[in-house]
Chains A and B, each alone.
Chain A
Amino acid sequence: MPTHVERITSLQSKTWSGSLALEIRLAASDCRTYNESEPYLIQYPRLSYVAFLLPRLHAFFAASLINPEVPAHEAWLSFEDVPLKWHYPLGLLYDLLSGAEPVDLERSRREEQLSASQATAGASHGAVPIPWRLTIHYTDFPGDQLIQLDGAGRAMLDSFINGVKEADFIRNGSARTVMSLSKDDSDKLWLAVQTHDMSLFNTINTKLLNPPGLSLRHIPIKIYLPTSATQPSASEPITEETSAGHSAGHIRVVQSLVPLHLPSKQPQTLGTALNDILPTIFPSRRNPLLAQPVLHGAAVPMGAVMEDLSRAAAYTDGFLHVVVVMLG
C-alpha cells in the first residue's frame, strides 16, 4: 500500500510529465514565401513557459523570415489572433483558450451508462486531439496586451519570481522565505523551471513549502472564469479584468484567501473553497452541477483536499491555476 506521501509524489510526477503537441507556424505577413513555410512541431511540457521556445523557433524560421535581423525575443505567439501571455504556463493557456474538452472520467462513465447502446459515447471521449496550432509573429507586437521580453530572459525571470513571491506571501503571510533564499538556490530554481527538472525543483521547493518557524495559512490559487459565464457576486475577491482579445472574449481572474482548514477544523477541499468563493457557479460542495474546475486538462474531483492538491499539482510558480469550464 503506497503511503500518502508516495501518492502525492506520484501525482506530482504525473503533473510534471504532462505535455502538449504544438504546431507553430510563421505568420503569413512575416514570411518570405507567404504561407508555404513548414510548421514547427514540438511536444512541450504543460508546466513550462512558451517564451523559452523563442530562440529555437527563431533558428528554425530564420530562413523564411522577411527580416531575419529581428531578434528572437521580439517575436510573439498567438492562437486564433489572441496573443499568448508570457507569464501563463502552457498548460493554463491550453485549458483557457484551446476549447479542448477536459478529461472527466465521472461524466463519461455516467454518459456511457445512460447511452449504453450508442457507440458514439466511447468514440467522442477517446478522441485524440490534433496538435495545438499557434502562430508566431515578428511584427506588430501588441504592446498593450503583452509584456516586452528581452534577450537575456530577465523579463521572464522577473515575472516568475513575482509569482513565487506572491504565492509565498499568500501561504505564510510574509514573503520572507523567498527573499531569504540564497542566490544559488534561486538560480537553481529558475534553472529547474527552464530545463523542466522536477527533482532539482523539489529540492528548492521543499524549502518554500516548509518554512522554519512559520505555519502554512492559505493555499495560493487563481481561478479563471470565461466571462460568458454569469457574473458571480464573489465574496471580497481581488479581480483582475484581463482582456484576452476579441475572439476569446474576456477572462476574469478571481483570487481569494483560501485557508488550509475550515472553521470546523476539517481540511479545506476544492469543493468547499469554490463554494465559498463562487457560490453562484458552485452551489454544491460535492458535485459540479453548473461548472467544473479544470486543472492540467482534467476535471478535479470536488473532494480534493486543498493542501495535498497544492503540494502535488501546483504549477512552478506555486499557484493552482484552475480554469472553470461551464457544463452543458
Chain B
Amino acid sequence: MSDWIEQYSAALTERDARERAHKQYIDAYTKLADRTAALEAKPPPVASAPSPPPQSPACRGRTSTPTKGKAAAIKETEQSPTDPLARLRTDLATTQKARTTLQTQVDELTASLSALHTQHKTSTTQVTQLTRQKADVERKLKDRDEELKGKGRLVEQAQDEMVALGLQLHMSEERKEKLAHENKELVDRWMKRMGEEADRVNRDSKWA
C-alpha cells in the first residue's frame, strides 16, 4: 500500500530534476533583475526632485512675459507639463497597439505571399511541362501527316505500276495468242506439206 508513496516520490524527484535544472542560473538572474529594478527606481526620484523647482520658475518667467503675468497663466503652466505628457503616453500606447495589429497583419500577408509564390512556381513549371508536351504531340502529328502523304504517294505509284503491268500482261497475252496461232498455222502447213510429200513419195515408189 505504501508503495505508492515511493512511486510518487520518485516521480516528484524526477520532475524536480527537470524543472529545477537551471535553478542556480535563474536565481542569479532574478537577483540581478531585482537589483537593476531597485537601482533604476532610485536615481529618477533624485533627478526629478531638483528639476521641477527650476522648471516651474523658468516656465513662469517665460510664459509671464507673453501673457502679461496673470495668476491664471501661472496655474496653466503648472498643469501644462502633465497634459502633453499624458497625451504623449496615450498616443504611444495606441501606436504600439496599432503596431502589434499591423505586425500580425504583415506576418499573415507574408505567409500568404510565400504560399502564393510557391503556388506560382508550381504553376509555371506545370505550364512549361504542358507546352513541351504540346510541342511534342504536334511534332508527332506532323510526322504522321507526312508519313501518310508519303504512303499515299506510294499507293499511287503502286497503282500506276499495276496498271502498266496489266497492260503489259494484256499485250503479252495477245502476242502469245498470235504466236500460238501462227505456230498452229505453221504446224498445220508443215503437216500438210509433209503429208503431200509423203503422198508424193508413196506415189513415186508405186510408179518405180
Contact = CB atoms under 8 A, between A and B. Distances in A.
Nearest to B31: A42
A62 B37 CA distance: 8
B183 interface: no
B41 A301 contact: no
B18 interface: yes
A323 to B, nearest CB: 14
B10 A31 contact: no
A298 B92 contact: no
A298 B8 contact: yes
Interface of B: 1-5, 7-16, 18-23, 26-27, 29-30, 33-34, 36-38, 40-41, 89, 92-93, 96-97, 99-100, 103
Given A34-B96, A59-B34, A308-B5, A21 B89 contact: no
A14 B6 CA distance: 12
B100 A60 contact: no
Interface string A69-101: 000000000000000000000000000000000
A76 to B, nearest CB: 16
A303 B93 CA distance: 54
Given A296-B12, A304-B8, A308-B5, A43 B27 contact: yes
Interface in A17-58: 17-21, 28-32, 34, 38, 40-43, 56
Contact of A297 (B19, B29, B97): B19
B4 A43 contact: no
Contact of B8 (A43, A60, A301): A301
Contacts of B19: 18-21, 129, 297
Contacts of B26: 21, 41-43, 131
Contacts of B16: 14, 17-18
6 closest residue pairs by CB, A with B: A298-B11, A59-B37, A301-B4, A60-B37, A304-B4, A29-B97
Contacts of B21: 128
A18 B15 contact: yes
Given A11-B8, A18-B19, A59-B37, 11 more contacts: A7-B5, A14-B13, A21-B23, A28-B103, A43-B22, A60-B34, A104-B11, A106-B7, A126-B18, A128-B21, A131-B22
A298 to B, nearest CB: 4
A11 B5 contact: yes
A105 B97 contact: no
Contacts of B93: 29-30, 66-67, 139
B4 A18 contact: no
B12 A66 contact: no
Contacts of B37: 56, 59-60, 62
Contact of B15 (A10, A42, A298, A301): A298
A170 to B, nearest CB: 22
A195 to B, nearest CB: 16
Contact of A28 (B7, B30, B41, B99): B99
B174 to A, nearest CB: 100
B74 to A, nearest CB: 25
